[in-house]
Amino acid sequence: MLSLINGDCGLDEATRGFIEKALDEYEDKVFLEDFSWIAELLPISSLKDYILGYIIGRMLSIAFTVYFASTKILLIFPKKITDEDRIAIGLIVGRRALEVYDRIEQMLHK
């Protein structure tokens, strides 16, 4: 576990690369969306937190989808996800969440 926290990701380089690329493409598109309607439609207390949760959820979904697709491509047969890979994917998304949070702040204060 400590090696994962220190950046020694259990994912193979190809799978990690696929995940990072997919998340880059998603991040480039998500901030073009208009989220203002959400606050008008739903009784939420923090639009910023709602957007962050939405984006993190989508990023996790994308990361796991790419993980299973890439392991199927690389191994012919899909493998069962290991705890180490699950943690590594969470750390990739977690690292990006801090950057996303700052971008949400900028987006909301335009």
* Total of domains in the chain: 1
Whole-number pLDDT of residue 80: 73
Measured distance CA(103)–CA(87) in Å, rounded: 24
Structural domain boundaries enclosing 86:
2-6+15-108
Whether the pLDDT of residue 4 is over 50: the answer is no
pLDDT digits (tens, 9 = 90+) for 71-100: 666 555 556 778 888 999 999 999 999 889
Could you tell me the pLDDT band of residue 6, with boundaries at 50, 70 and 90?
very low
Q: Which residues contact 74 (CB under 8 A, 6 or more apart)?
A: 12, 14, 15
